[in-house]
Structure 1
Amino acid sequence: MAVQPRFWDPRGERFGTPTYPWNLAPLGLATRRQLREQGLRPGGQDVVAQVMWHSNRYRQPGTSGIRSAYLYDIDRAKPVRPMTPGRRAALAKAMLARRTCSACRTDVGYVIPPSLGMCTTCADTPRLAA
């Protein structure tokens, strides 16, 4: 008798939705990221299946470290909506806000780390003066 992989549940009896182990999902299904690489989006369709795997990298104390990714039907996916001028302007404005230092109010040319809340020059200035 062959032993089934831990996350093998193509009928969805154990996990509620068809579940496959890493790299064993059937052809014709893709994650959101894989759809995006093909210029597609789920387009409102429901999740068809999921891929599950165990990861020690993301394991937190008291959790199992089991990760999952939802799968969508490629045939029912729709093309990605084109970028409109308004959306492009809104994204540019949002990115400018992420690059603007709250202390010196200048565009520093990189996304400011949320842990600092200001550019590295302004964050290091009090330490240098002390």
Structure 2
Amino acid sequence: MSPRFYDPEGARYGLPTFPYRLAPDGLATRRQLRAAGLRPGGQEVAAQVMWRSRRSRTAPRVAYLYRVDRARPVRPMTPGRARALAAAMRARRTCPDCGQDADYVIPRALGCCPACTDWGAA
């Protein structure tokens, strides 16, 4: 166990903090809640998991934990929400320059489809 990130009272980090893979039962991340068909439902963050990452040598990585007993079920997908999601995804696939549907999400770094960029025409 890494004593550096073990602070169950929250004295050091302001929130109860646990090392990677050592969070107590009854707490889950957003992703774990979603996999169980739940959502945080407006509750405050109950604790956090911290670990050292090879990518970021300066700051540790953090995942916030929520209480499972206070989580609510995920809202069902309504026809209106499905239409809105489809329209948003269609907008992300449509090139603003040529107006063509690229059949994939256009990279934000390019801002348009590769065919409309300078290097795409070469």
- In structure 2, distance between residues paired with 1:58 and 1:99: 32
| Equivalence for 2:20 | 22
What is the 5 A alignment of 1:38-49? 38-49=36-47
Contact 1:56 1:65 in 2 (8 A): no
* Inter-partner Cα distance in structure 2 for 1:18 and 1:74: 16
User: Normalising by structure 1, what TM-score?
Assistant: 0.86
Q: How many aligned positions are there?
A: 120
Q: Which residue of 1 aligns with 2:93?
A: 99
Amino acid at match of 1:57: R
SS state of the match for residue 96, structure 1? helix
The residue aligned with 1:78 is: 72
Contact preservation (8 Å) 2:28, 2:65: yes
| Counterpart selection for 1:111 from 91, 105, 110 | 105
Secondary structure at the aligned position of 1:88 is classed as helix
Per-residue deviation at 1:120? Answer: 1.4
Q: Which runs of 5+ in 1 are unaligned?
A: none
Question: Which one-letter code corresponds to 1:112 in the other structure?
Answer: I
1:65 CA drift (Å) = 2.2
Q: How far is 1:16 from its partner?
A: 1.2
* Residue 89, structure 1, aligned to residue 87, structure 2: no
Name the structure where helix makes up a greater proportion of residues: 2
CA root-mean-square deviation: 1.4
Query: SS state of the match for residue 70, structure 2?
Result: coil
User: Which position in structure 2 is the counterpart of 1:55?
Assistant: 53
